[in-house]
Amino acid sequence: MSSIGIERVAGALGAEITGVDLRKPLDDTTYTLLRRAWLEHLVIFFRDQDLSPAQFLAFARRFGDPVEYPFVKGLDEHPEIIPVLKLAHEHINFGGVWHSDTAYLDAPPMASMLVAREIPPVGGDTLFANMYLAYETLSEGLRRTLEPLRAVNSSSKADASRTREDRMKDSGREVRKDYLAAHPVVRRHPETGRCALYVNVAHTVRFDGMTEEESAPLLDYLFRHQTRPEFGCRFRWRPGSIALWDNRCAQHNAINDYHGHRRLLHRITLAGDTPKGP
C-alpha cells in the first residue's frame, strides 16, 4: 500500500493515482483506498494503463454495475463499453458541453469512466467541475430558494447543444425516443452526505411547475456560476490514461480543439440511483 500515491491536480477537485496496475484484480484494501480517494476528489486519474476491454470492464465492475448507454451502440463483444470517437473530418465532438451524464434518466448513472485509446498530438482535454462548491458558494438566500425546487431534464436538449452524445444506437435506423426526468435542483450525495447543485446546461430545460421562459434567468445564472474556473480542473489525455468521475457531484466538458485529428476513447457507465434532495 505504501507504493500507492494520491496527488491532487487542482484546488477544487481531481487527483492522480500512481502505483496501481489496473490490469490486475484490486484487493479489498486497495479498492477501499481508491473509492475513498474518488469520493474525496470527485474524479481520479490513472496513467499508462494498457487495459484490454475485458480488463477495463473488470475494473469498472469493482466500483459498480456497468450499464448500456441509451443512444450509442457498444462494442460487439462488450456492449457496456461504448466508443467515444471523433474522426479527423468531423467538427462536432461527443460531450462537448458542460453536463452530468444522462441527467434525463429517472436513475442517472453514479459514475462514468474513460480510457484513452487514440489521442490527437495536442488538444482534446477534458474539463471537470465541482458541484459541491457550486452549491456551497451560493448565498444562503439562494440556497434556501433552490432546495425545494426540482429541475426538468430532457434528452432532446442535448441535440440543441450540438453534441454527439445522443446519436442513435443503430446509427439512426430506429425511431428516436426522448427521455424526460425531474430531479432535485439540490442533490444530496448518498455516500458523502454533501449537497451538490444538480442542473446542467446540456439537459436542464426548466424548473418543475414553471415555464422555460420563467426558468431561464435563474437557470442561466446557475449555468454560468457552476463552471467558474476556480471550481474546476483540466485533464490532458495520453494513450492509456483513465478518468473515473462521480456524476452525482461533478460535471465535465470535452474540449473540441483538435479538428483534423482522430480521437478515440472507450467509456463505461455505472448504474446509479434516483437523486434525492437535501
pLDDT tens-digit series, residues 77-114? 899 999 999 999 988 888 889 999 999 999 999 999 99
Residue 277 resides in a domain:
no
pTM for the whole structure: 0.92
What's the pLDDT band for 2 if we cut at 50, 70, 90? Answer: low
- What percent of the chain has pLDDT above 70? 92
Judged against a pLDDT cut of 90, whether residue 249 lies above it is answered with: yes
Q: What pLDDT, on the 0 to 100 scale, is given for residue 161? A: 41
Q: Which residues contact 137 (CB under 8 A, 6 or more apart)?
A: 225, 231
Burial class (CB in 10 A: 0-12, 13-18, 19+), 89: exposed
- The amino acid occupying position 114 is L
Round the average pLDDT of the chain to a whole number and report it. 92
pLDDT tens-digit series, residues 106-163? 999 999 999 999 999 999 999 999 999 999 999 999 999 999 999 999 988 765 444 4
Instruction: Answer yes or no: are the C-beta atoms of 85 and 196 closer than 8 Å.
Output: no
Nearest to 128 by CA among 257, 38, 231, 197: 231
Judged against a pLDDT cut of 80, whether residue 17 lies above it is answered with: yes
Residue 278 resides in a domain:
no
Q: What pLDDT, on the 0 to 100 scale, is given for residue 1? A: 52
The three cell numbers of residue 138 are 451560493
| DSSP classification of residue 253 | E
Residue 208 resides in a domain:
yes
41 catalytic residue (yes or no): no
Q: Catalytic residue, from 41, 101, 117, 183: name it.
A: 101
266 catalytic residue (yes or no): no
Judged against a pLDDT cut of 80, whether residue 213 lies above it is answered with: yes
Residue pointed to by grid coordinates 450525495: 189
Between 168 and 272, the more confident residue is 272
Q: Which residues of 207-218 are buried (b: 16+ CB within 10 A; e: fewer)?
A: beeeeeeebeeb
The three cell numbers of residue 193 are 452526505
Q: What pLDDT, on the 0 to 100 scale, is given for residue 174? A: 41
Half-sphere exposure of 218 (CA within 13 A, CB side): 17
Residue 204 resides in a domain:
yes
178 catalytic residue (yes or no): no
For the segment 231-245, the average pLDDT, to the nearest whole number, is: 98
Q: What is the CATH number of the domain that holds 193?
A: 3.60.130.10
pLDDT tens-digit series, residues 56-74? 999 999 999 999 877 678 8
Q: What pLDDT, on the 0 to 100 scale, is given for residue 172? A: 37
Rounded (5°) CA angle 148-151-153 = 160
Residue 148 resides in a domain:
yes
36 catalytic residue (yes or no): no
Q: What pLDDT, on the 0 to 100 scale, is given for residue 111? A: 98
Residue 276 resides in a domain:
no
Residue 185 resides in a domain:
yes
For the segment 6-10, the average pLDDT, to the nearest whole number, is: 98
Residue 275 resides in a domain:
no
Instruction: Answer yes or no: are the C-beta atoms of 13 and 250 closer than 8 Å.
Output: yes
Q: What pLDDT, on the 0 to 100 scale, is given for residue 158? A: 63
How many structural domains comprise the chain?
A: 1
Judged against a pLDDT cut of 50, whether residue 169 lies above it is answered with: no
Range of the domain at 168: 5-270
The dihedral through the CA atoms of 220, 222, 223, 225 has a sign that is positive
Q: Catalytic residue, from 183, 252, 263, 266: name it.
A: 252
Q: Catalytic residue, from 41, 99, 187, 203: name it.
A: 99
What's the pLDDT band for 165 if we cut at 50, 70, 90? Answer: very low
Q: Which residues contact 224 (CB under 8 A, 6 or more apart)?
A: none
